Chain A
């Protein structure tokens, strides 16, 4: 059994290898995210729309295993009420058990449950995509980036730019195009400007008017991509708002304390230099 697993896994990598060749895709453009910069916060409505896109489009192939329904209620997130989050959870069937007779059973989701995986295990998921594995999206915006070069990289230190992953997700979802004339790709793959190696096993997932928005936002691929990228920035860093808020307090404290220490130091050393 173990040997078989290893053999299958090997086969899977061989199949997936051309997709994962060590090439880089085109450099994504930077977007104006509401959560950029030292005071940037998430846009609640955007996160709610992004969740809707994830649930209706991405979730059939991509997991979100680190996110529990209770996270939808927590401060700094999409800002659902307790009742709304319970209702969303109850729309999912969660496998629980074993019960008193030793059988697993299905029940409606609760706040403490996590988003269910798209397949019971990795092999089942791979087999659906000819060996390619749709990655879990929980931390995807921290697991993807792009080279900005030395100068921009240094500049990013000062302007605190950390949104490379969201840029990439947005660009990727908008990056489908026809392959160059001299390139042939097989039917199960698509050509994406921003994907490393360009051959991507994910065929274009979004189309205009695919997901219904109730807040009047445009129902376009561009907007869907933007919203789901923002949503995934939140899933990767759910405490970002608390982090920046506490960070501001810490900075103020440190600067005041440093000032006091500076004057104390001057007073203490006044004698020593005489």
Chain B
């Protein structure tokens, strides 16, 4: 019976090995079917946008499109900057100092993704109780630094990765 047991073991091993190889192959075959839904090469290539800041007057907010989403570029007034910096962090649901949300030496420029962190609507500029943005969908108020102050949104408006190519132009992404 010893040989029979050895035969059974060898047979089981063969069955398990075959099944395992089959499972690995199936998993590998499924990956292209999933990955094809990720952003394709042409979409990834459009992931950065350059914006000229010279036409944006003080106190004005312009909206540019980046990765299919609106990005707000706010040329803030002295008053707006002071308002944002005077707010104690303790009053903020998502505490973050204004200095961390702008580039050093470019305090007047606030660049945020114009998508409400609640459920993705586009907030309206220069509205709401805090002189920043107000989201008409579910009533979230953002301040002049794009930080959430009141309403259901859980987080501040996102600051995208961007850099100053020169004093008057930025590259987002």
Name A's B-contacting residues (CB within 8 A). 68, 70, 74, 100, 111-112, 253-254, 256-257, 260-261, 263-264, 267
- Check: B165 CB closer than 8 A to any chain A CB: no
Q: Contact check, B45 vs A111: say whether CB atoms are below 8 A apart.
A: yes
Chain A CB within 10 A, most for which of B11, B15, B18, B25: B18
Of chain A, the residue at the smallest CB distance from B43 is A112
> Closest CB of chain B to A59's CB: distance in Å?
21
Which of B25, B41, B46, B55 sits near A257, CB closer than 8 Å?
Answer: B25
- Check: B3 CB closer than 8 A to any chain A CB: no
Of chain A, the residue at the smallest CB distance from B15 is A264
Name B's A-contacting residues (CB within 8 A). 11, 14-15, 17-18, 21-22, 25, 28, 41-42, 45-46, 55
Q: Contact check, A68 vs B14: say whether CB atoms are below 8 A apart.
A: no
Main secondary structure of the interface of B (DSSP, over half): helix
Q: Contact check, B45 vs A264: say whether CB atoms are below 8 A apart.
A: no
Q: Contacts A253-B25, A267-B11: A260 and B45 contacting too (C-beta < 8 A)? A: no
Q: Contact check, A74 vs B41: say whether CB atoms are below 8 A apart.
A: yes
How many inter-chain contacts with C-beta < 8 Å in the A-B complex? 31
Which of B14, B25, B46 sits near A264, CB closer than 8 Å?
Answer: B14
Q: Contact check, A257 vs B22: say whether CB atoms are below 8 A apart.
A: yes
| B contact residues around A112 at 8 Å (CB) | 42, 45-46
Of chain B, the residue at the smallest CB distance from A74 is B41
| A contact residues around B15 at 8 Å (CB) | 264, 267
> Closest CB of chain A to B43's CB: distance in Å?
10
6 closest residue pairs by CB, A with B: A112-B45, A260-B18, A264-B18, A70-B45, A257-B21, A112-B46
Q: Contact check, A261 vs B25: say whether CB atoms are below 8 A apart.
A: no
| A contact residues around B45 at 8 Å (CB) | 68, 70, 111-112
Complex Cα–Cα for A111 and B11 (A):
57
Q: Contact check, A260 vs B17: say whether CB atoms are below 8 A apart.
A: yes
